[in-house]
Amino acid sequence: MGSRAKQILSFTAIVLGFFMALLDTTIINVALPEMTHYFGGDVSQLSWVMNGYNLAFAVFILTASRLADQFGRRRVFLIGIGLFTVASLLAGLSTSLEMLIVCRVLQGLAGAIIVPVTIPLTTTTFPKELHGMIIGIWGVVSGLAAASGPALGGMITEKLNWQWIFFVNVPLGIASIVLTLIFIKESRDDTAGHNIDWGGILGISGGMFCLTYALIKVEQYGWGSQVIWMLLSAAVISLLFFFLTQWKGKEPMLPLSLLKIGTFNGASLTMLVVGAALMNIALLTSFFLTRMMGMSELKAGLVLSMLAVGSIVSSGLAGPLSNKYGSRWFAAAGIVLMAGATYSLGGLHADSSVGDVLLRLIAAGFGVGLTMAPVMSSAIRNVPADKVGVSSGVINMMKALGSVLGVAIIVTVLQQNMDNRLESAHTEAIAVVQQDQAMLPFVRESLSGTLDNWAGNGTSSTRITTGGEQEAGSAEGLYLAAVENIEVAAASLTAEQQAAFGAARAEQYAEVQLVLPGVGQLLREAPEQAFSRTFAMAGYMLIPGILFALLSDRRRMPAKRLQEAVQVNH
């Protein structure tokens, strides 16, 4: 077999494992309702099917990178693939929600082993002149896995069942193991030693656990909660302990010399922003498509997969070009494009066309591809060759942390905006009703009470904004509820008042029908405005990433000036 064929099969082995691990971060989202019907349980319990994976992934990723550098990347990669395959099989066979959550935690640990090892395995398999192209393909696979998860999950759940979301990993995992055993050679960091840095493992694991867990639970407890602040304080103490062990240790898992490399720090912070951007775009758009535009979860997943289209095109171009011309301008342009696309998503309305959504998502995906592959390429290009493994671990850990941090912030912002806009719209709606002098006083009070009940039950944010699928989610549904309340109130009137109302009933209901479209419009626009403000905030959050991207690679000297500098030095 020729060397090129061996390289292709080696890269296939790596990509299969990498694709599985990243795909499972998003593929289950659409299947969660089916899991609810199957297992029962409430939303907070089921959320740990997602959170268990993300938490384990963030906690173990740096440790896994270090162990792979010490004891062999091929060996550790095989352990990760094997664990992921077994955990996937058991997840599909789960007989209880608790068993499924445990399997997802094991998948997260395995994913933390697989993802950071893929870059150093790749760079040792291919010659240096091909690294830019390979990192570009890596970026394509990364974007495709993250963005196509909801669509694949929806299709598998609809055509088969939710268990097959996990079962499909089994043949992929077996194929990756076989190809790895045959075609990939062992590699390690010869300067890493073989002493395990237990203090470093304890510090980084404890710090990442407390930080990630706090960010996951902030939606439940709120930012001002004592529980959240205790977790954040514990995270700070653990991370300080980690850096102390790295400073004093003889064989630290994270050489602090890496943190003296400005481009590495810039790349790490850029990936933090990219992680937050990807998750915020996917989360907010998913909610908007299903809650505001009335799409099914499957259709919303297919629409969201357009993120992958832009990412595939731009990753394939940006990877090789950034290796030649530098990453900083590609990455900065990508962040600008992501920020602009995120902001423009706030211009959507409940009656916007699917095409309007697709254009924005493709633009956002194009920005992801322009950023992710060049930044990863820069991160491994600007560190010592023997530190590529741990560098990859840090970069991927920052991306995972960005995802969790982005969700924690943006969910809080969305909820705050939703509460504020709904409260304001409700106040305006009541004012419109109270100012209508054509209504009898008890009719005005009954209609105001109807609006109060709807606001108190949360229907203004859920039923009115579902795109009119249910009659209760329309102006007609609100009118029927108002009529019912008015008739109940009329029954308690005096005989003389009832006679007066009976004579004016038709005119009174005509007036109610005249007022309700404007009131309903206020209530329908409130959630749209809340989403618009949240998308804008999500876009603004990406602006610091432009500076980080510009710092993620060295300035490239023009060829003529470089030649002159070399001549002067000699």
pLDDT in tens, 472-495: 345 667 778 888 888 888 888 888
Q: Which of 160-164, 187-191, 192-196, 469-473 has the highest mean pLDDT?
A: 160-164
Provide mean pLDDT across the span 139-163.
74
Q: What is the mean pLDDT of residues 128-147?
A: 69
Query: Mean pLDDT, to the nearest integer, of 325-344?
Result: 91
Does residue 337 have a pLDDT over 90? yes
Query: Among positive and negative, which fits the CA dihedral 225, 226, 231, 234?
Result: positive
Residue that wins the pLDDT comparison between 43 and 217: 217
pLDDT at 563: 44
* Residue 368 CB partners (closer than 8 Å, separation 6+): 143, 274, 277, 278, 307, 310, 311, 314, 315, 334, 338
- Which CATH number is 1-195's, of 3.40.50.300, 1.20.1250.20, 3.40.190.10, 1.10.10.10? 1.20.1250.20
pLDDT of residue 409: 82
Residue 319: the pLDDT is 66
Asked whether residue 421 carries a pLDDT value surpassing 90, the answer given is no
CA distance 115 to 104: 16
E-assigned strand segments in 55-109:
none
Q: Looking at per-residue confidence, does 56 or 318 come out higher?
A: 56
Q: What is the mean pLDDT of residues 368-375?
A: 85
- If pLDDT is split at 50, 70 and 90, which confidence band does 527 have? confident
pLDDT band of 41, cuts 50, 70, 90: low
Unique residue bearing structure tokens 């890496």 = 258
At residue 459, the pLDDT reads 43
Supply the pLDDT for residue 569. 38
pLDDT above 70 coverage of the chain, percent: 87
* Encoded tokens for 256: 């602090």
Task: State the average pLDDT over residues 515-534.
Answer: 82
Does residue 33 register a pLDDT over 90?
A: no
pLDDT value of position 7: 76
Average pLDDT over residues 47-63: 82
Contacts of residue 144, Cβ cutoff 8 Å, sequence gap at least 6: 19, 308, 311, 312
Is pLDDT of 214 > 80?
yes
* Per-domain boundaries in the chain: 1-195, 418-534
Q: Among 140-149, 168-177, 370-379, 545-554, which stretch is predicted with the lowest mean pLDDT? A: 140-149
Among the residue ranges 224-233, 426-435, 468-477, the one predicted with the least confidence is 468-477
pLDDT for 173-184, tens place per residue? Answer: 999 999 989 888
Judged against a pLDDT cut of 60, whether residue 498 lies above it is answered with yes
pLDDT reading at 87 higher than 90: yes
User: What pLDDT is stored for residue 193 in this prediction?
Assistant: 67
Task: Pick the range with the lowest mean pLDDT from 55-69, 113-127, 448-462, 519-533.
Answer: 448-462
- Average the pLDDT over 367-372 and give the result: 87
For the cut 70, the answer to whether the pLDDT of residue 77 exceeds it is yes
Whether 289 and 343 have beta carbons less than 8 Å apart is answered as no
Structure letter (DSSP) for residue 387 = G
Instruction: Give the Cα separation of 166 and 156 in Å (integer).
Output: 10
* Residue-averaged pLDDT of the chain: 80
pLDDT at 339 over 90: yes
- Give the count of beta carbons closer than 10 Å to the beta carbon of residue 355: 8
